[in-house]
Structure 1
Amino acid sequence: MTPHEDIDWSTPEVAAHYDELPLWSAPFGLMLLDRVPLRRGQVVVDVGAGTGFVTVELAQRCGPESHVTAVDPWAAAMERLADKVAFLGLANVDLVVTPAERLPLADASVDLVVSNLGINNLDDPAAVLRECARVLRAGGVLVTTTNLVGHMEQVYAAYRGVLSELGLEAHRPALDAQEQHRATVESVSAQLAEAGLEVVDVATDTFRMRFADGRALLAHWFVRLGFVAGWRSVVPEPEGDRVLDLVADRLDAVAAEQGALELTVPMACVSAVRR
């Protein structure tokens, strides 16, 4: 078969499914796909699958003999994934809309569990990891990615400067808590060990997100979705919006000096085995 001979690029369906990955999750997902074991016939669970970037890739990269179960309580995202699965004709994918604390799978029935920025964003990661360990066979592997403490440190530095300038240091603990609740390699490794999984590989890296200035950052759709509400909550109204405006001013100044606003995001990919 020649490449793309069965794909009609003029159809609206092809365009509709040629969507770009969110820039936030893509670097983590590529890191995971570089390290995850790939074998035909393996049973895979994608925890916190979302709209299914990793699910779809593993279902294809492991071949049709494999089976991938995507798990996520976010029903709207799973509907989007169902549409992709149907369009791609992936008969080896199941979708389960449920919290990962209750995986509808038998003990020791899974070869591989993956989670791209999933487990670290759940309410009870310890319970989820226990479930992952329960369903993994002996020798089964869990591969998870997470952002680390220190992400977007440039924003937090500007925010601390504003709090100091306005005499609002009383709100500093709330800001620090937001920054520090991110994972560390040590905290992820400890959670995995507590769940009965042995860490066998840790990879770390950093990627950059560049913006014209601070206001472009705060107006970006994904930043608004994932971060702005939390940053705004540090200082209650009526001062909260003013504080965020001043943070934007400081970030604008950084961008003017450097030519662009560059944010750094440290990340990790951790692999563990069920012994």
Structure 2
Amino acid sequence: MKVALAADDEIANHYDELPLWSAPFGQLILEHVPLRRGQTVVDIGAGTGFLAVELAQRCGSESRIIAVDPWAEAMAVLRRKVDYLKLSNVELVISDAAELALPDGSVDVVVSNLGINNFDNAARVLSECHRVLRPGGRLLLSTNLVGHMAEFYDAYRQVLDQFGLDLVPLDRHIDHRATIGSTAALLEAAGFVTSFVESSFRMRFADGTALLNHYFIRLGFLDGWKSIVPAEDTDRVFTALQAELNRRSEATELSLTIPTACFDAVAQPFGQAAQAEANISSTV
């Protein structure tokens, strides 16, 4: 999923209330992030501030929470939340995370809830996170994984096959998502020693019509799904896909599985990181 950072106040104003998409991922981070008085935390890709606001309150007023995002409209929403809650320990930075105006080794924790999914320059951002973290500082990031919404893609594959359309774009679309290995490799290349926790949740809909008409599905996923087929085939494919999803949900409901992961990466000096063997562990 990649939400376009449209200059649209209405999207930003309603962003928290419309999707529950980011909450399970953020909860994974909140279960594992260090919560200590007086620490400096940077929230990369803060958006409208769900995670930054929680950390500002949970870490206490002596902490310093720096929320970073280039989406100015979303940050305006976060500003209103910070003012309403009278949070004196939150700083807002409207900026790309590839260049953080922070000294080397000045940060205790970096968090990013689904941010890596939307980085065009993930390696550069992770390198910058390593630079600003003190040795032993931690980066916690959440992501969805290859295999998400497998039930939807199975129906999509069937419809494409029925029409005799090329399945390669569908496979490419599915395979572009993160894996444990690909994400761990990015983190290790940036100087981190990495562990992770895997989980999953379900998105449930009455049927395919409800899914395809859902606001957040249309905002975050529908354009990508439609790009899989030639434009001249879009209408007939999606009419058939909706019918197939409805058929599959006749006896019960449409339930989509979302596999998730939270990576807990410890910043190592590059001399040590080059010699350290990655400690990758999985807990379901």
Who is 1:224 aligned against? 218
1:69 touches 1:95 (CA, 8 Å); kept in 2?
yes
What are the residue-to-residue correspondences of 1:192-203 with 2, within 5 Å?
192-199=187-194, 201-203=195-197
1:238 pairs with 2:232 = yes
1:79 pairs with 2:76 = yes
1:265 pairs with 2:262 = no
1:70 pairs with 2:63 = no
* Shift in alpha-carbon separation, 1:21–1:49, aligned structure 2, 3 A: farther
- How far apart in 1 are the matches of 2:17 and 2:241? 30
- How far apart in 2 are the matches of 1:73 and 1:177? 28
- How far apart in 1 are the matches of 2:30 and 2:18? 14
- How far apart in 2 are the matches of 1:131 and 1:247? 43
Per-residue deviation at 1:21? 7.2
Deviations 1:46-99 (A, max 9, x none): 000000000000001000000010001111110100110010001111111111
2:47 touches 2:75 (CA, 8 Å); kept in 1?
yes
- How far apart in 2 are the matches of 1:100 and 1:174? 31
Q: How many residues align?
A: 255
Which of 118, 121, 135 is residue 121 of structure 1 equivalent to?
118
Per-residue deviation at 1:273? 0.5
Who is 1:53 aligned against? 50
- How far apart in 1 are the matches of 2:222 and 2:152? 11
Per-residue deviation at 1:241? 2.0
Classify the secondary structure of the residue corresponding to 2:98.
coil
**Alpha-carbon RMSD:** 1.4
Per-residue deviation at 1:120? 2.2
Per-residue deviation at 1:236? 2.1
When normalised by structure 2's length, the TM-score is: 0.87
The residue type paired with residue 145 of structure 2 is L
Who is 2:30 aligned against? 33
* Shift in alpha-carbon separation, 1:166–1:21, aligned structure 2, 3 A: closer
Per-residue deviation at 1:20? 4.1
Deviations 1:150-208 (A, max 9, x none): 00011111111111100112xx2211111111111111111000000111x31101100
1:232 touches 1:241 (CA, 8 Å); kept in 2?
no
2:18 touches 2:215 (CA, 8 Å); kept in 1?
no
1:254 pairs with 2:280 = no
Per-residue deviation at 1:106? 1.1
Who is 1:209 aligned against? 203
2:18 touches 2:216 (CA, 8 Å); kept in 1?
no
- How far apart in 1 are the matches of 2:18 and 2:126? 26
1:47 touches 1:119 (CA, 8 Å); kept in 2?
no
1:44 pairs with 2:41 = yes
Per-residue deviation at 1:22? 2.7
When normalised by structure 1's length, the TM-score is: 0.90
The runs of at least 4 aligned residues of structure 1 exceeding 2 Å deviation read 19-22
Which of 124, 136, 141 is residue 139 of structure 1 equivalent to?
136
Percent identity between matched residues is 57
1:251 touches 1:261 (CA, 8 Å); kept in 2?
yes
Give the unaligned 5+ runs of structure 2.
1-12, 269-284
Classify the secondary structure of the residue corresponding to 1:256.
coil
Who is 1:180 aligned against? 175
Per-residue deviation at 1:254? 1.0
The residue type paired with residue 236 of structure 2 is R
- How far apart in 2 are the matches of 1:210 and 1:136? 39
Which of 156, 163, 174 is residue 166 of structure 1 equivalent to?
163
What are the residue-to-residue correspondences of 1:88-127 with 2, within 5 Å?
88-127=85-124
Who is 1:191 aligned against? 186
